[in-house]
Amino acid sequence: MNVDVFIPCFIDQFYPETAVNVISVLEKAGCNVNYNPDQTCCGQPAFNSGYWDETRTLAVKFINDFNGANFIVSPSASCTGFIKNYYGKLFETDKQRLNESNQLSKRIFEFSDFLVNHLNFVDFDSVFNHKVTFHDSCAGLREYGIKNEPRILLQNVKGLELVEMENTDTCCGFGGTFAAKFHSISTAMTEQKVENALKTGADYIVSTEASCLMNIESYIRKKKLPIKTIHLADVLMQEEN
* pLDDT at residue number 179: 62
Query: Does residue 223 share a domain with residue 167?
Result: yes
177-191 pLDDT, tens digit each = 666 666 678 788 889
Domain boundary among 64, 95, 118: 118
* pLDDT at residue number 71: 97
Mean pLDDT rounded to a whole number for the chain? 93
| Alpha-carbon separation of residue 61 from 38, 44, 54, 76 (angstroms) | 9, 13, 11, 19
Query: Does residue 113 share a domain with residue 60?
Result: yes
Asked if the model's pLDDT at residue 241 lies above 70, the reply is no
Q: How many domains does the chain have?
A: 2
Domain boundary among 59, 92, 118: 118
* pLDDT at residue number 176: 63
Query: Does residue 97 share a domain with residue 177?
Result: no
pTM equals 0.93
Nearest to 105 by CA among 132, 85, 133, 119: 85
In a domain, 59, yes or no: yes
In a domain, 123, yes or no: no
Query: Does residue 80 share a domain with residue 113?
Result: yes
Domain that holds residue 228: 131-236
CA-to-CA distance for 118 and 67, rounded, in angstroms? 21
Query: Does residue 175 share a domain with residue 75?
Result: no
Residue 134 contacts by C-beta under 8 Å, 6 or more apart in sequence?
150, 151, 154, 162, 164, 165, 168, 205, 206, 207
107-134 pLDDT, tens digit each = 999 999 999 999 999 999 999 999 999 9
Domain boundary among 118, 143, 172: 118
Residue 118 contacts by C-beta under 8 Å, 6 or more apart in sequence?
71, 109
Q: Please, what is the Cα angle at 166 between 162 and 171, to 5 degrees?
A: 100
27-43 pLDDT, tens digit each = 999 999 999 999 999 99
Tell me the three state secondary structure of residue 237: coil
